[in-house]
Amino acid sequence: MAELFQVLKAKVKDHNIKIVFPEGLDERILTAAGRLAAEKILTPILVGDIEKVEAKAKDLGVSLDGAEIYDPAHYVMMDELAAAFVERRNKKATEEEAKNILQDGNYFGTMLVYTKKADGLVSGAAHSTADTVRPALQIIKTKEGVRKTSGVFIMVRDDEKYIFADCAINIAPNSQDLAEIAIESAKTARMFDIEPRVAMLSFSTKGSAHSPETEKVTAALEEAKKRDPLLLVDGEFQFDAAFVPSVAKKKAPDSPLQGDANVFIFPSLEAGNIGYKIAQRLGGFEAVGPILQGLNSPVNDLSRGCNEEDVYKLAIITAAQSINQ
């Protein structure tokens, strides 16, 4: 894991990346932001009452030299930000209503990203996933050709690196969604220097069982191949047939993956969420994420149980995403 982040830090430094943290009074956010600023990896933008943020940082012994603090209640460019919000939301709110909405740190921070005053956003230490994702979907929106955002984890143990998706957003993806998740996850894999070998997972391997659930996965495979003919993707697979070469020889001898997949697309959110947590808790993998993909600009969601290190790492990932985009 340390080697992975050394590579990402080297990639991010000297690009003058700004990442906004809407939860500027959270202790974990403050300590991570101070560290990021001190190491000159990126410029943190903390959202909150300036005096309170500075006082909290002082109490924690955290230097905010190199960081910026924006207070929505006294933001000098609020008129411009509110007008941009009204336009982006197709006049579904008046400018006065927009100013009230933008007092919310997540909406304010998302608008900073949308108006290019920041390059990405990290939130969720004190907010739900919905609170973080909703403004992003309303304002930043998904990239052209992408219908839905999705959430991936990079699973790391020593020198092993894998991508698990979708483990955070889409409860019951259909075949079109799964194909899209596979393609976007392959792009995310490349960001971490993983050459993607994508497995579409199921409880069946190559037709060993037949049901609407397995047919959804086989249809997703065909759709992914059609959308990206160069992508190395196969399925449907039980996990062992995707990951264990000896099992693959028996269950899927003609598969190009041959039990060597490194990007795993789960058929539902419950499967993905359970799968990554089993790997994390029983397998000793570190789970970094969720990393949201498919948006026009990077917005990433922390767990409310996160620690300072999680904030630090996700900020670096978000910065790296902004460079890729």
The topology under which CATH files domain 2-141+296-324 is Rossmann fold (3.40.50)
> Residue 266 carries which DSSP code?
-
Dihedral pair phi/psi, residue 129, rounded to 5° = -55, -40
pLDDT of residue 130: 84
Rg (CA), the chain: 21
Whether 265 and 199 have beta carbons less than 8 Å apart is answered as: yes
Q: Between the CA of residue 318 and those of 208, 241, 298, 324, what are the distances in Å? A: 40, 33, 6, 10
Per-residue pLDDT tens digits of the chain, which is 325 residues long: 567 778 788 888 888 999 999 999 999 999 999 999 999 999 999 999 999 999 999 999 999 999 999 999 999 999 999 999 999 998 888 889 999 999 999 999 999 999 999 999 999 888 888 888 899 999 999 998 889 999 999 999 988 999 999 998 999 999 999 999 999 999 999 988 899 999 999 999 998 999 999 999 999 999 999 999 999 999 899 999 999 999 999 999 999 999 999 999 999 999 999 999 999 999 999 888 788 999 999 999 887 888 899 899 999 999 999 987 7
Q: What angle do CA 91, 96, 101 make, to 5 degrees?
A: 80
Query: What is the CATH class of 150-281?
Result: alpha beta
Listed by start position, the domains of the chain span 2-141+296-324, 150-281
Q: Between the CA of residue 278 and those of 7, 259, 271, 274, what are the distances in Å? A: 27, 20, 11, 6
